[in-house]
């Protein structure tokens, strides 16, 4: 995060995985997010593509009856009905059309609420995730969940909305994860540099009439 340019221009920083990862300590999360509290023209979007077992949207519908009324007007859908569906992906297949996203909802998974509250105290910024789920247009129509720190939305709602549209477009280019994220992952593997070093080593050995044992 410290390497993200913050002086000029507008930047969308895509992080693989949720804001509050279950594999990171609270201290590591706070230290990792600390640089973003001074951002102005930059937007952090955390993208999760493996949400088959996620229940964050299901939990949100259970906690906010008004949200249920938006998706199921007049159907008298209860909390028990929502819970019986099971996971976000099963529910969203029924209510979310391809090429659409859910509204932004301020919510934290129950198992990460402590991490969120302690990180907010450490940074003195409301970084509670605003999350939405986007359903791709291209078959197979996969889902991605996007999370944005709440204070960024408070600072510049238009910029956040634009960033969400760009990430959704990147998702359509790749069909599973944002295209630029896949490219970055491939480059980080250093395959090209590895192949180049191997060729240089073999060329040097051949010039000295040596070979690898």
Whether residues 157 and 183 fall in one domain: no
**Strand order of the sheet with strand 143-149?**
11-16, 42-48, 143-149, 129-135, 105-106
Whether residues 117 and 137 fall in one domain: yes
Question: Is residue 125 assigned to a domain?
Answer: yes
Whether residues 208 and 165 fall in one domain: no
Confirm if 112 and 22 have CB atoms less than 8 A apart. Answer: yes
Domains held by the chain: number: 2
Confirm if 130 and 136 have CB atoms less than 8 A apart. Answer: no
Whether residues 64 and 109 fall in one domain: yes
Whether residues 146 and 41 fall in one domain: yes
Which residue in the block uniquely carries the two structure tokens 């910029």?
159
d(CA 102, CA 57): 9
Question: Is residue 210 assigned to a domain?
Answer: yes
Q: Give me the domain span that covers residue 186.
A: 178-213
> For strand 105-106 and strand 42-48, is the pairing parallel, antiparallel, or unpaired?
unpaired
Question: Is residue 1 assigned to a domain?
Answer: no
Output the tens digit of pLDDT for each of the chain's 213 residues: 556 665 566 788 888 889 998 888 889 999 999 999 888 888 999 998 887 778 888 888 888 888 888 888 877 788 888 888 888 888 888 888 999 998 898 988 888 889 999 999 999 999 999 999 999 988 888 889 999 999 999 999 999 999 999 999 988 888 777 877 777 777 666 666 777 788 888 888 888 777 765
Confirm if 61 and 68 have CB atoms less than 8 A apart. Answer: yes
Which residue in the block uniquely carries the two structure tokens 């023209």?
41
Whether residues 189 and 158 fall in one domain: no
Whether residues 205 and 138 fall in one domain: no
Whether residues 50 and 92 fall in one domain: yes
Question: Is residue 63 assigned to a domain?
Answer: yes
Whether residues 129 and 185 fall in one domain: no
Helix and strand totals (H; E) in the chain: 10, 5
Longest dimension (CA), the chain: 82
Question: Is residue 6 assigned to a domain?
Answer: no
């Amino acid at each position: 995060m410290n390497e993200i340019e913050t002086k000029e221009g507008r930047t969308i920083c895509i992080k693989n995985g949720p804001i509050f990862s279950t594999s990171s300590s609270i201290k590591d999360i706070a230290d990792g997010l600390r640089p973003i509290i001074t951002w102005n023209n930059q937007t952090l979007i955390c993208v999760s593509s493996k949400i088959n077992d996620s229940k964050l949207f299901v939990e949100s519908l259970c906690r906010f009856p008004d949200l249920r009324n938006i998706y199921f007007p007049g159907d008298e859908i209860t909390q028990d009905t929502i819970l019986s569906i099971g996971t976000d992906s099963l529910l969203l297949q029924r209510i979310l059309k391809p090429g659409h996203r859910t509204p932004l909802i301020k919510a934290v998974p129950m198992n990460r609420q402590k991490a969120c509250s302690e990180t907010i105290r450490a940074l003195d910024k409301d970084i509670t995730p605003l999350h939405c789920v986007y359903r791709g247009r291209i078959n197979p129509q996969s889902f991605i969940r996007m999370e944005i720190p709440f204070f960024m939305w408070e600072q510049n709602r238009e910029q956040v909305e634009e960033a969400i549209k760009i990430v959704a477009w990147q998702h359509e280019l790749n069909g599973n994860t944002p295209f630029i994220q896949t490219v970055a992952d491939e480059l980080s593997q250093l395959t090209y540099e590895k192949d180049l070093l191997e060729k240089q080593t073999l060329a040097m050995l051949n010039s000295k009439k040596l070979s690898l044992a």
